[in-house]
Amino acid sequence: MPPQRIYYGWVIVGVMWLVSLASHASATFTFGLFVLPMSNDLGVSRAAVTWLHTVRLVGNGGTSFLFGPLVDRFGSRLLVPAAAAIGGVSLILASQAGEVWMLLVLFGVIGAAGVTAPNNVIINVPVAKWFIRRRGRAVAVVAFGGAAGGSIFAIVHALMIGNLGWRGTFLASGIIMIALAVPLPLLLLRRTPEDIGLLPDGDTPRPDGEALATPAEEVWTPKQALHTFTFWKILVAYMLTSFATGAFVVHRPAYWTELGFSDGLIAAVFAVDSATFAVVALATGLLLERVPARFVGVAAMSTHGLAIVLSLTVISEPAIFLTGVMIGAGAGANTVVQNTIWAQYYGRTFLGRIRGIVLPTAMLGLGLGAPTAAMLYGVFGSYRPSFWGQAGLLVVAAALMVFATPPRHKPRPTAYVDYG
């Protein structure tokens, strides 16, 4: 096969960048902007509305057990368009729902479709399978797409809600999601580089045609991974991180509104958050080629925790903007670390299955954080107790990551095993 000017793996990255951007049309990042309008319109509590976010995340975690093996065996060429179409149609139907139970069902379907949750299997695992040495930067580019989507829809959703209401916003967002995330994945996605005669990172075979130029990679089965302490340290660390950050991100708009800050200012903070996410995600992709992933994860979790403490101790416009910067930085770094460290430690071959086991715990934490904070708000009449608790959980998570060293009981190395 003649040398290619552009490695096809970067085409995969570009497509997933667009899908990651489009997924934010479903209010993955901006759901907090919908809490008060939906609560007022439907005549229900904030806690009831936040359960929509929880159901979506739990739905995604539940189906990741199924999607992980499917991505390993078949790739995401059909999964991504199908998930985007289902998610978009569900958003359109949600715009017409008159009861909370209808919204719960539809948000569960959106989550189960698999494309809208953070760090989901069907977007991120295929990217990791196309790279080894340059995996960090490839994952970072896709994360940048999510950041771009979060930043764009933070402004778009705020404007739409003000002019069209939450229902009109869901209707328009569903159409946007289908238009952006269905056609190109169907045309361009492929499972692995080996499927089309390429090697990871765009490397070429050695002259003898036998050995791969790409460094040998270890193959861990899910059962082997589950028997390492490192697996459980990382899993619990990110479950706690998801619980804490999920609660804070959803409830910070209401918290800041109660403190007297305007909706326009809060929307601007969301945009700053996403812009910082994008810059830090790209930097993290390069950093991971030089610094152990667990240390970058520790720094990210610590930044999240300090941001929550800042929001509790300093009440001013500069402080909430700085909080947005810190949350964006922590989320950007954590997203790239999560989508890199599992492949670094356990290899590409069974990555979909391993991530399919891990993701439900992160989604459970992310989903339970917001309603727990809402219930504590109902008890104490303030967000402060739950926010302090979230900061404490992030300290525990960072401590676990410090000791999440690469697994030492290593199976026999192999260059690549074709799961298909």
State how far the Cα of 418 lies from the Cα of 420, in Å rounded to an integer: 5
Q: What is the pLDDT of residue 215?
A: 55
Give pLDDT tens digits for 282-296.
Answer: 999 999 988 999 999
Q: Are 203 and 213 in contact (CB under 8 A)?
A: yes
Whole-prediction pTM? 0.81
Q: What is the pLDDT of residue 420?
A: 45
Distances (CA, A) of 362 to 169, 199, 241, 354, 366: 28, 31, 8, 13, 6
Amino acid at 362: A
Handedness of CA 66, 67, 72, 75 (dihedral sign): positive
CATH superfamily of 8-402: MFS general substrate transporter like domains (1.20.1250.20)
Q: What is the pLDDT of residue 207?
A: 58
Torsion on CA atoms 60, 65, 70, 71, rounded to nearest 10: 60
Q: What is the pLDDT of residue 105?
A: 94
Distances (CA, A) of 332 to 47, 143, 192, 314, 343: 27, 7, 26, 24, 18
Q: What is the pLDDT of residue 209?
A: 52
Amino acid at 7: Y
Q: What is the pLDDT of residue 116?
A: 83
State how far the Cα of 9 lies from the Cα of 129, in Å rounded to an integer: 9
3-state secondary structure of 414: strand
Handedness of CA 379, 381, 383, 388 (dihedral sign): negative
Give pLDDT tens digits for 129-185.
Answer: 999 989 999 999 998 888 888 878 888 998 999 999 999 999 999 999 999 999 999
Tokens of 114: 């698999």
Averages of pLDDT over each 10 residues, the chain, 420 residues = 74 96 89 88 86 84 87 93 96 93 94 84 92 91 87 88 94 96 95 91 68 62 94 96 90 89 85 86 91 95 96 93 94 92 92 91 85 90 94 97 85 48
CA nearest neighbour of 308 among 363, 366, 248: 248
